[in-house]
Structure 1
Amino acid sequence: MAMTALGRSDLLFDPSRRRTVIAQLAEPAYASELASLFDRGYDHMARELGDSDPSRVLMRLVPLGHRVESFSPLRARVAVWQVLLLGAPGGRVVASWSTSRADLVWTKGGWRVARFTSDEPGPGPTVTNAATATPSEVFLARLAGLAPFSR
């Protein structure tokens, strides 16, 4: 899935690797625009993380649900509800809930992203008790050794 393939911490500080992934996922006519879009987003997140050790950054984009909004044999639009977890030791671990939409086209290589539309916030759950938030060092330590499900 294109959205989760681009939501990885190893791409946060490595634009060349990011472009390789984008080339695999995007329709060639959209690849440059998509790379620019993700460069801006990743640069913003990197600034938020400051001088964090890249190997200790948590970044996981987790799809929670999807909906096919339109479909033909050559084109489709899908909506994906997801949560992005981002954090590093010494900072906060934040969760960002959003719904993303992608226009896809069928090519001889399979489905490719022709366009992402702007993310919509949420829907997001209510935090029952903000005082119970796990400190970032503990949060990251508890995740050590846990890998995301395969993509």
Structure 2
Amino acid sequence: MSLGDEHDGFGGVGGSGQTRTRLPEGNSGDVYGGARRPVRSSRSLITVVGVVVLLIAAIAFANRGEGDPADAAAPSSGTPGKTAPTAATGIRPVTGKNGQLPTGFAHTDQGAQSAATNYAVALGSAEMFQTSTRNEIVQAVYTPAAVTARQGDLNKVYADKGFLSRIGLQEDGTTPQGLTFISRVIPVGSKVESYADDRATVSVWYSSLFGLAGEGSKNPVSEAWYTSSYELQWVNGDWKVTDFSQKDGPVPVGRDQRASTAQEMADAVGQFGGFTYAR
């Protein structure tokens, strides 16, 4: 509602400052005009119509086809050094999947952000601790050259008995009986550090849940905050990781909340699924 509309409601005309006199509409003797016309009814009708129009527009947006011109016309949000909104833009984030991982990211800075964010989730997942699923993730996320260079080292790290023992897993990477292993990355936002036609550097800020949920766990699920920077390359029609680095924070102040029980945490990881993230 405009300022002019508000002024009308109090007797002005379109904000012009003129005064409108209302004549009595009956013989009730009411000096203010008796039964005044209900102003709210017309406004309520306009509100309902507006909601319906917005709903139709939302449905049309959700169901638009692959060739929607809005995909190509969406504005860029990844200018280095500039604040970008956290809401998804009009560019369709992905066009397919490679196993359980999204693939087919847009060849734009926004597509690079979507790729880095989804890859952060995959690389921080519990599936990285199993050989078969880890190999699938690495081959889907990294460039072919990086896979060749890193696959062996990654397998050594995740198969290291000392490492597995420290985090509470068994020597073969499986979870001890009666416990639930949780490793999840929850992205908060992303930003483009640099961008070129076939190269991009994207930082992803996220929280991480990690540990073993269950009675008697010596490594209970805890929360941590990190920022990872991903070096991306456009290869074979998609963004792939060539390298990445990680640092702590930014870390928010924790609230005074009661920690959930081991069973509540174990139930949550099985009941709540993940998302495909998009800029």
TM-score, normalising length: structure 1: 0.82
Q: Where does residue 260 of structure 2 map in the other structure?
A: 134
Amino acid at match of 1:127: G
Distance across 1 between alignment mates of 2:204 and 2:155: 17
For residue 102 of structure 1, the aligned residue among 210, 230, 233 is 230
Task: Compute the RMSD of aligned alpha carbons.
Answer: 2.5
Change (3 A) 1:76 1:31: same
Cα drift, residue 37 of structure 1: 4.4
Distance across 2 between alignment mates of 1:72 and 1:137: 47
Change (3 A) 1:82 1:20: same
Distance across 2 between alignment mates of 1:58 and 1:75: 33
Cα drift, residue 144 of structure 1: 3.4
SS of residue paired to 2:135: helix
Q: Where does residue 50 of structure 1 map in the other structure?
A: 169
Which gives a bigger RCO, structure 1 or 2 (Cα 8 Å, sep 6+)?
Answer: 1
Q: Where does residue 133 of structure 2 map in the other structure?
A: 17
State whether structure 2 residue 132 is matched by structure 1 residue 8.
Answer: no
SS of residue paired to 1:125: coil
Percent identity, please.
26
Structure with the largest fraction of strand: 1
Aligned residue pairs: how many?
A: 148
TM-score, normalising length: structure 2: 0.47
What 5-or-longer segments of structure 2 have no aligned partner? Answer: 1-117
Distance across 1 between alignment mates of 2:165 and 2:189: 27
SS of residue paired to 2:208: strand
Change (3 A) 1:50 1:126: same
For residue 145 of structure 2, the aligned residue among 26, 29, 34 is 29
Distance across 1 between alignment mates of 2:140 and 2:165: 23
State whether structure 2 residue 183 is matched by structure 1 residue 59.
Answer: yes
What 5-or-longer segments of structure 1 have no aligned partner? Answer: none
Distance across 2 between alignment mates of 1:95 and 1:83: 7
Q: Where does residue 57 of structure 2 map in the other structure?
A: none
C-alpha contact 1:87 1:136 (8 A) present in aligned 2? no
Change (3 A) 1:145 1:39: farther
Distance across 2 between alignment mates of 1:73 and 1:120: 27
